Amino acid sequence: MAKEKVVLAYSGGLDTTALIPWLKENFNYDVVCCCVDVGQEEELDGLEERALSSGAAKLYIENIVDEFCDDFVMPCVKAGAVYEHSYLLGTSMARPAIAKKLVEIARKEEAVAICHGATGKGNDQIRFELGIKALAPDIKIIAPWRMTDLWNMQSREDEMEYCRQHGINLPFSMGKGYSRDRNLWHISHEGLELEDPSLAPNYDSLLVLTTPPEKAPDQMTDICLTFEKGVPKTLNGKAMKVSEIITELNRLGGENGIGIVDIVENRVVGMKSRGVYETPGGTILMAAHDQLEELCLDRETMENKKRLGSQLAQTVYEGKWFTPLREAIQAFVEATQQYVSGEVKLKLYKGNIIKNGTTSPYSLYNESLASFTTGDLYDHHDADGFITLFGLPLKVRAMKMQEAAKNSFNSKIQGMVSEMQSSKGNK
């Protein structure tokens, strides 16, 4: 009789490689590894040989870079979704995309379970599992780091020794390094000196995509982006897919020290964690999109969009991608993007993004209205009535407070007079 199957979210790292023999040993499953490519680049090298030699029955490497960019990244860019003022959601957007593909492979393989290697202290366990529950409530989820009765490895040394005992020789060092997560949108870094918020990051050993701003070129880099309905279409005159634009912006932004964020953030599980994020291309793309919206959106729409964009950021951060709330917010955002089209010019210089001109056929900016010599559309005298009505609540309140103060003063005087009269009568 054929064994039951488990789909393992496989990165090729030490944790998930050790999970292959662990799953076979503790559950007697056939292990189907699935590495979901969201732009990890060289991290995918040698995965098939490593997975199969470690005991996996099969390995899928599923490239979803374009789906990730079009269906997960761009909705957040359009919304201006930024978590706690700084984090551009690189890992948060990728996890539901990965969960979706894991479920697809599990259905294809008729697997009974999906296993992930996220720890019990982080956000990723929530993001993976909420995605799986929303898409496949019938599939069992295995989270080894929370199964302390079966998973008793507490360090890299323990995991490497476990692998050696099972005949698996791995090209990993014993030394502790940064914990990183990479995709096309960003690279995150945690660990080492970053665990102490009083210490500055060691950027010389930390950064992968980005040059420190002080070491960036002493000359500006000009770029020009065009958008259609909120989606970038060309970069410097060349038509490209969104994934290609992000890739090129990563190169240009990285060279100019753009998009380095050092943040202490609030995790979903209740603790604070400190990390450094490199998002050079994403930072430029978000800035360009915001710059275009300044021309194309009216004030009330922008105010509500900002509020909902912040709510979307928290929703995505918490792993609630496959929810009616995310769909509803995204529907609102899509409605706002119908006229967000035009051209944005920027200059990149030593970590700075500098505006260099914006144009749109749907611009709401009217030079006649905005200039000091206004034309027929604006009569200065109209401001009189507007200010009278706009300030009416303030004026009424002030009048009432004056009246109350006057009444209070009069009451005090009357009280003093009565007291004096009473005092004379007693004499």
Report pLDDT for 311.
98
The CA distance from 105 to 337, in Å, is 34
- The tally of CA atoms less than 13 A away on the side-chain side of residue 131 is 27
Both 138 and 270 in one domain: the answer is no
Report pLDDT for 421.
74
Comparing 375 with 178, the larger pLDDT belongs to 178
Region 66-83: what's the mean pLDDT? 98
Both 113 and 146 in one domain: the answer is yes
Both 164 and 207 in one domain: the answer is no
Q: Is 290 a catalytic residue?
A: no
**Residue 427 predicted with pLDDT over 60:** no
Tell me the pairing of strands 260-266 and 187-190.
Answer: unpaired
Both 76 and 45 in one domain: the answer is yes
Catalytic residue selected from 53, 179, 273, 363: 179
| 14 domain residue, yes or no | yes
Catalytic residue selected from 15, 30, 37, 181: 15
Q: Is 124 a catalytic residue?
A: yes
Both 162 and 291 in one domain: the answer is no
Type of residue numbered 208: V
Q: What are phi and psi of 313, to 5 degrees?
A: -60, -45
Both structure tokens of 84: 């706690």
Final residue of a structural domain among 175, 210, 232: 175
pLDDT tens digit sequence for 375-391 = 677 788 888 999 999 99
| 313 domain residue, yes or no | no
pLDDT tens digit sequence for 339-366 = 999 999 999 999 999 999 999 999 999 8
**Residue 96 predicted with pLDDT over 80:** yes
Final residue of a structural domain among 148, 175, 202: 175
Report the range of poorest mean pLDDT among 161-165, 167-171, 248-252, 308-312: 167-171
| 266 domain residue, yes or no | yes
Both 58 and 151 in one domain: the answer is yes
Tell me the pairing of strands 187-190 and 179-182.
Answer: antiparallel
Q: Is 158 a catalytic residue?
A: no
* H, E, C per residue of the chain: CCCCEEEEECCCCHHHHHHHHHHHHHHCCEEEEEEEECCCHHHHCCHHHHHHHCCCCEEEEEECHHHHHHHHHHHHHHHCCCECCCECCHHHHHHHHHHHHHHHHHHHHCCCEEECCCCCCCCHHHHHHHHHHHHCCCCEEECHHHCCCCCCCCCHHHHHHHHHHCCCCCCCCCCCCCEEEECCCCEEEECHHHHCCCCCCCHHHHCCCCCCHHHCCCCCEEEEEEEECCEEEEECCEECCHHHHHHHHHHHHHHCCCCEEEEEEECCCCCEEEEEEECHHHHHHHHHHHHHHHHHCCHHHHHHHHHHHHHHHHHHHCCCCCCHHHHHHHHHHHHHCCCCCEEEEEEEECCEEEEEEEECCCCCCCHHHHCCCCCCCCCCCHHHHHHHHHCHHHHHHHHHHHHHHHHHHHHHHHHHHHHHHHHHHHC
**Residue 261 predicted with pLDDT over 90:** yes
Cα–Cα separations (whole angstroms), residue 416 to 99, 374, 407, 409, 410: 78, 59, 14, 11, 10
Which residues neighbour 187 within 8 Å (Cβ) at sequence distance 6 or greater? 90, 180, 181, 208, 209, 277, 278
Both 184 and 160 in one domain: the answer is no
Both 146 and 287 in one domain: the answer is no
Q: How many CB atoms lie within 10 A of CB 57?
A: 17
CATH code where residue 187 lies: 3.90.1260.10
CATH code where residue 78 lies: 3.40.50.620
Both 24 and 121 in one domain: the answer is yes
| 56 domain residue, yes or no | yes
Position 425 confidence tier, pLDDT thresholds 50, 70, 90? low
Catalytic residue selected from 50, 54, 95, 243: 95
Nearest by Cα to 11 from 64, 47, 54, 41: 47
Both 243 and 98 in one domain: the answer is no
| 328 domain residue, yes or no | no
| 322 domain residue, yes or no | no
Both 145 and 206 in one domain: the answer is no
Domain span at 151: 5-175
| 150 domain residue, yes or no | yes
Report the range of poorest mean pLDDT among 105-114, 259-268, 415-424: 415-424
pLDDT tens digit sequence for 138-161 = 999 999 999 999 999 988 889 999
Catalytic residue selected from 30, 54, 92, 124: 124
Final residue of a structural domain among 141, 158, 175: 175
Total domain count for the chain? 2
* Four-residue CA torsion sign, 137, 139, 144, 149: positive
| 409 domain residue, yes or no | no
Which residues neighbour 209 within 8 Å (Cβ) at sequence distance 6 or greater? 187, 250, 254, 259, 278, 280
Report the range of poorest mean pLDDT among 22-26, 166-170, 189-193: 166-170
Cα–Cα separations (whole angstroms), residue 164 to 54, 110, 151, 161: 10, 31, 16, 5
Both 68 and 216 in one domain: the answer is no
Report the range of poorest mean pLDDT among 163-172, 233-242, 396-405: 163-172
Place of tokens 């090129």: 248
Please give the biggest Cα pair distance in the chain. 114
Task: Name the average pLDDT for the chain.
Answer: 94
* Contact status, residue 6 vs residue 23, Cβ threshold 8 Å: yes
Q: Percent of the chain scored above 90 by pLDDT?
A: 84
Model-level pTM greater than 0.85? yes
